């Protein structure tokens, strides 16, 4: 037998041994998965719960909820780079939207204002206005009437959403900072 044939036979033995180890490891993996399936599911559920709890929840009042919800779902797919099929809840004309951060929420609502969508953004905890768009000038405004600038983040204004009326473009007089 030539040296090359001897090397090939040795390599064949090595590969068979490796194949056997891989088969044994796969069997062990399946056995452990079956044994600890409940724990693995609980861990996945806990991670999902933590993600939900770390989300920023806002409420939006809009005359065109359906388009905004559709845009929201597409926005979430875009920023998370994952499938997003959770349709937000709408109750009494107010839709709950959750974002990974207030910066993401700010970006989403700026995009909506550029589409001339008319809406009010409400802080879910304080029920105060955070921002609004009059649906006519393509701009987003803070609750106090100041125009939203690049880099601004949504903040509660202290103005109850129940008392708030969206000002028309010609009647906007921002309050000084």
For the segment 94-107, what is each residue's pLDDT rounded down to a tens digit? 999 999 888 999 99
pLDDT of residue 176: 46
Phi and psi (nearest 5°) for 107?
-60, -45
pLDDT of residue 63: 86
pTM for the model stands at: 0.66
Could you tell me where the DSSP H helices lie in 2-101?
3-35, 37-53, 65-80
- Give 21's pLDDT tier (boundaries 50, 70, 90): very high
pLDDT of residue 15: 92
- DSSP states along 115-133: TT-EEEEEETTT-BEEEEE
Q: Please compute the mean of the pLDDT values over residues 114-142 and round it to a whole number.
A: 94
Burial of 90 (0-12, 13-18, 19+ CB in 10 A): middle
Written as six digits, the tokens of 152 are: 């601004």
**pLDDT surpassing 90 at residue 13:** yes
- Give 18's pLDDT tier (boundaries 50, 70, 90): very high
pLDDT of residue 30: 87
pLDDT of residue 61: 93
Percent of the chain with pLDDT over 70: 86
pLDDT of residue 173: 52
Own/partner long-range contacts of 34-42 (Cβ < 8 Å, ≥24 apart): none
């Amino acid at each position: 037998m030539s040296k090359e044939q001897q090397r090939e036979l040795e390599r064949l033995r090595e590969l068979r041994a490796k194949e056997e180890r891989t088969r044994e490891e796969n069997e062990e993996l399946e056995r452990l998965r079956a044994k600890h399936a409940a724990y693995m599911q609980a861990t996945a559920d806990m991670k999902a719960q933590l993600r939900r709890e770390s989300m920023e929840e806002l409420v939006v009042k809009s005359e065109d909820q359906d388009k905004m919800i559709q845009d929201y779902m597409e926005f979430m797919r875009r920023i998370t780079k994952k499938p997003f099929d959770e349709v937000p809840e709408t109750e009494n004309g107010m839709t709950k939207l959750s974002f990974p951060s207030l910066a993401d929420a700010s970006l989403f609502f700026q995009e909506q204002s550029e589409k001339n969508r008319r809406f009010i953004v409400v802080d879910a905890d304080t029920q105060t206005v955070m921002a609004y768009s009059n649906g006519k000038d393509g701009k987003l405004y803070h609750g106090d009437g100041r125009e939203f600038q690049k880099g601004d983040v949504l903040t509660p204004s202290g103005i109850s959403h129940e008392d708030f009326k969206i000002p028309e473009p010609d009647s906007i007089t921002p309050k000084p900072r």
